[in-house]
Amino acid sequence: MNERHLIALVDGNEDDLFLMKRAFRAVGVANPIITFSNFERYLAYLRGSGVYADREKHPLLKILVLDLTARPHDWLELLDETRKVPGLEHVPVVAFTSSEEGPQVQKAYDRGANAVFTKGNELNSMAQTIRDLEFLEDILSPKVEGVRSMKAA
């Protein structure tokens, strides 16, 4: 498997991380997935510090899936920090919120998110969201059935 296509899931809720990872697997995504429920641990990973210093063992992500609703941190700050890392300035970012409206959605787009979705709490709704991620079709491995080709449009 190509580790250059690592998916990072960042959410303050372990149950939601489990659901997201399960949804990616349910639609056939075989990319390696790393999960973070801790703000500081994700920052250490980005910076390559501590246990994440060895980039052979801990390669940089190629897709970031980020929950914006977790507290007490400003998870949009993690999006900003991700964009500061050389090579991650344009990494695809999928953000989840608890609402389709409001300033949080606009802030996510303003700060570089490629897509913002309302977070589902069921496997089927999360899996459908993953199928709708057209702009990721060249990164997801193997190709996910149901992800429409942007080239064909």
CATH classification at residue 44: 3.40.50.2300
pLDDT at 18 over 80: yes
Q: Is 143 inside any structural domain?
A: no
Q: How far apart are CA 24 and CA 146, in angstroms?
A: 13
Tell me the whole-structure pTM to 2 decimals. Answer: 0.84
Q: Which domain holds residue 63?
A: 3-136
What CA–CA distance (Å, rounded) separates 31 from 117?
21
Residue pLDDT, tens place only, 63-106: 999 988 766 667 788 889 999 999 999 999 998 887 666 777 88
Residue 152 lies in a domain: no
Decide if 62 is inside a domain: yes
| Token pair listed for 39 | 């703000």
How many folded domains does the chain comprise? 1
